[in-house]
Amino acid sequence: MNRTPSPPITPEMAAHIRFLVKVRKLYQHQVAALLGLNQGRVSEVMRDRRYPNVPPAQGAFPF
């Protein structure tokens, strides 16, 4: 069984992940499913392991 990797996280994606978790109050697994990411990537962004200086996005979600 082949695994498909998550797409690379960009600073813009990190901002939207923070917006969805902090402002919209979605759970990490919900954000991962919405964006087609591995839940671990969402966790890395939320724990400031990736893009720690990127603030949450402002306004509406663009997707």
Q: Which pair of tokens denotes residue 18?
A: 């923070």
Q: What is the pTM of this model?
A: 0.87
**Domain with 35 in it:** 11-46
| Assigned domain for 5 exists | no
| Assigned domain for 57 exists | no
Instruction: Please determine, for residue 1, whether its predicted confidence score (pLDDT) is greater than 80.
Output: no
Q: When comparing pLDDT for 39 and 62, which is higher?
A: 39
Rounded CA gap, 3 and 47, in Å?
Answer: 25
pLDDT digits (tens, 9 = 90+) for 14-58: 999 999 999 999 999 999 999 999 999 999 999 999 999 999 998
| Assigned domain for 54 exists | no
Domain count, the chain: 1
Q: Is-contact 46 26, C-beta < 8 A?
A: no
Left if phi > 0, otherwise alpha if psi is -120 to 50, otherwise beta: which for 14? alpha
| Assigned domain for 27 exists | yes
| Assigned domain for 55 exists | no
pLDDT digits (tens, 9 = 90+) for 7-16: 899 999 999 9
| Assigned domain for 31 exists | yes
| Assigned domain for 4 exists | no
Rounded CA gap, 9 and 50, in Å?
Answer: 8
Q: Residue 5 burial by CB count (10 A; 0-12/13-18/19+): exposed, middle or buried?
A: exposed
| Assigned domain for 3 exists | no
